[in-house]
C-alpha cells in the first residue's frame, strides 16, 4: 500500500475550505494541516476536517509535500515564493499573481528550485470541456460568456482577473496560440472600485478571433462557450455539463434544403457528473508524486495572466479615449 501524500492548505476562506474538504475525503491523501492569517478561522476549519491548525506558515510548509495556496491574489507572490523556496510543490489559485513581474518571480523560483508550480485554472477540469476537447480542431471564432451575481469576495481584482480569466485560459488552451496581436475592450466599475463588467475582442496571430464577456453583477449565473470552426460548431454549457456539436453535411443543395438537420448533423454532448475541483486535486496529487506533469503549468498561468492584464489595460484605454475633453 502506498504511503499517503501529505498535503496542506494555506488560506481557508470560501475556496480554501472546499480544497480542505476534498483533501480530507481523499483516501491517498493526508490533510496534514492548514494555516490561515485568522487563527479562529484556522481552528474552526481544522476541527471540521480533523486536522491541525498551524500557528505559522513556515511550520506548515515544514510538514507537507505539497500545498494549495488560496489566499488573496495580492499575497500570491509572497506565499508562493515561501513554499517554492521550502521545496514544497504548489497549487496556486488563479490568477497566479497581481502583475507579470510577480508572475515572473514565481516562474523563475519554481524553475530554479526544480519544484512543480501548478496554477488553479479549474475550468480545464470542467467535465463538458474534457468531453468535447477532442472535437476542437483549429477554431476560427470563439465566444465566451460568464455571468455571476455580485458578492464581495473576489472584488480585490477586476472582473477580468476574477471571472473572464477562466475563459481566456480556456481559449489559449483550446487554440494553442498564445500570440495575441490585437485587443479591443470596454467595461465599467459599477458596484466596486474595480471593473465589474467587461467585454473583449481578441485577435490571434493564427487568425482566431475571440469575443469574451464577463459580469459579476448579473441576476443569474451563466457560463457558456461557443466554438466555430470550419464546417463545425460547438456550444458548451459549462454550468450544466451539456453541449451540442453540429457538423456540416456534404452534398446538400441550398435551394432544396428546408431544415437545419439537412445541412448539419447534430450530436448532443453530456458529460459525466464529476466535481471539477476534485479532478483538479487528483491531477495535483499526481504532480506532487511525480507521476504526471502539472495540468496547468506556471508558464500557462502566466500566459493567461498576461492576456487578462492586456484586456484590463485595453478597457482602461478605451475609457480614457471616450472621456470628454475638459
291-311 per-position pLDDT tens digit:
999 999 999 999 999 999 999
Rounded Cα distance between 220 and 150, Å, is 10
Distance from C-alpha of 273 to C-alpha of 138, rounded to nearest angstrom: 28
Biggest CA–CA distance in the chain, Å, is 75
Q: What is the pLDDT of residue 155?
A: 75
- What one-character DSSP code corresponds to residue 239? T
Reported pTM:
0.92
283 three-state secondary structure: helix
Q: Residue 200 in contact with residue 311, Cβ under 8 Å?
A: yes
Residue 325 has pLDDT above 80, yes or no: no
In the chain, where are the structural domains located? 5-123+277-295, 127-274+308-319
8 A C-beta contact, residue 87 and residue 113: yes
Cis ω before 95 (30° cut-off from 0): yes
Residue with cell 508524486: 289
Residue 261: predicted pLDDT: 66
Provide the CA 175 distance to its chain's centre, in angstroms. Answer: 16
What was the pLDDT predicted at 24?
98
Looking at residue 276, what is its pLDDT? Answer: 97
pLDDT for position 171: 96
Length of the chain equals 326
CA 190 from centre of chain:
24
pLDDT over 90 (residue 256): no
Q: How confident is the model at residue 105 (pLDDT cuts 50, 70, 90)?
A: very high
Q: Pseudo-torsion of CA 60, 64, 70, 71, nearest 10°?
A: 30
Give just the sign of the alpha carbon dihedral 310, 312, 313, 317.
positive
CA 47 to chain centre: 29
Task: List helix spans (H) across 143-265.
Answer: 159, 165-175, 260-263
The rounded distance, in Å, linking the Cα atoms of 231 and 150 is 38
Q: How many helices (H) and strands (E) does the chain have?
A: 11, 13
pLDDT at residue 12, rounded to an integer:
97
Whole-number pLDDT of residue 291:
96
- Please state, in angstroms and rounded to a whole number, the distance separating the CA atoms of residues 214 and 222: 10
Residue 251: its pLDDT value, please?
62
Instruction: Quote the DSSP letter at residue 53.
Output: B
Q: Give the domain 127-274+308-319 fold.
A: Dihydrodipicolinate Reductase; domain 2 (3.30.360)
Judged against a pLDDT cut of 60, whether residue 94 lies above it is answered with yes
Instruction: Answer whether CATH 3.40.50.720 is correct for domain 5-123+277-295.
Output: yes
Q: What is the mean pLDDT of residues 86-96?
A: 97
What does the pLDDT read at residue 262? Answer: 67
Which three three-digit cell numbers place residue 99? 502583475
Amino acid at each position: 500500500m502506498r504511503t499517503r501524500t501529505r498535503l496542506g492548505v494555506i488560506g481557508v476562506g470560501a475556496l480554501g475550505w472546499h480544497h480542505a474538504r476534498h483533501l480530507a475525503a481523499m483516501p491517498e491523501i493526508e490533510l496534514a494541516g492548514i494555516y490561515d492569517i485568522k487563527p479562529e478561522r484556522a481552528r474552526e476549519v481544522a476541527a471540521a476536517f480533523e486536522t491541525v491548525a498551524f500557528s505559522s506558515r513556515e511550520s506548515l510548509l515544514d510538514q507537507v509535500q505539497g500545498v494549495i495556496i488560496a489566499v488573496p491574489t495580492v499575497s500570491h507572490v509572497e506565499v508562493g515564493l515561501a513554499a517554492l523556496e521550502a521545496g514544497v510543490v504548489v497549487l496556486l489559485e488563479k490568477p497566479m499573481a497581481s502583475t507579470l513581474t510577480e508572475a515572473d518571480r514565481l516562474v523563475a523560483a519554481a524553475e530554479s528550485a526544480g519544484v512543480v508550480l501548478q496554477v488553479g485554472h479549474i475550468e480545464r477540469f470542467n467535465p463538458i470541456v474534457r468531453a468535447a476537447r477532442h472535437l476542437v480542431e483549429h477554431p476560427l471564432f470563439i465566444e465566451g460568456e460568464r455571468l455571476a451575481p455580485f458578492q464581495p469576495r473576489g472584488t480585490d481584482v477586476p472582473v477580468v482577473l476574477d471571472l473572464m480569466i477562466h475563459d481566456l485560459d480556456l481559449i489559449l488552451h483550446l487554440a494553442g496560440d498564445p500570440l495575441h496581436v490585437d485587443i479591443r475592450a470596454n467595461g465599467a466599475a459599477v458596484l466596486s472600485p474595480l471593473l465589474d463588467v467587461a467585454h473583449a475582442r481578441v485577435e490571434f496571430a493564427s487568425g482566431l478571433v475571440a469575443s469574451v464577456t464577463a459580469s459579476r453583477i448579473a441576476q443569474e449565473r451563466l457560463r457558456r462557450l461557443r466554438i466555430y470552426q470550419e464546417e463545425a460548431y460547438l456550444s458548451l454549457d459549462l454550468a450544466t455539463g451539456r453541449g451540442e456539436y453540429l457538423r456540416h453535411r456534404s452534398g446538400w443543395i441550398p435551394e432544396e434544403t428546408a431544415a437545419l438537420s439537412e445541412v448539419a448533423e447534430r450530436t448532443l454532448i453530456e458529460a459525466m457528473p464529476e466535481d471539477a475541483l476534485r479532478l483538479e486535486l487528483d491531477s495535483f496529487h499526481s504532480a506532487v508524486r511525480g507521476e504526471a506533469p502539472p495540468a496547468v503549468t506556471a508558464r500557462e498561468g502566466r500566459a493567461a495572466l498576461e492576456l487578462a492584464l492586456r484586456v484590463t489595460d485595453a478597457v482602461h484605454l478605451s475609457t480614457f479615449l471616450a472621456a470628454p475633453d475638459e
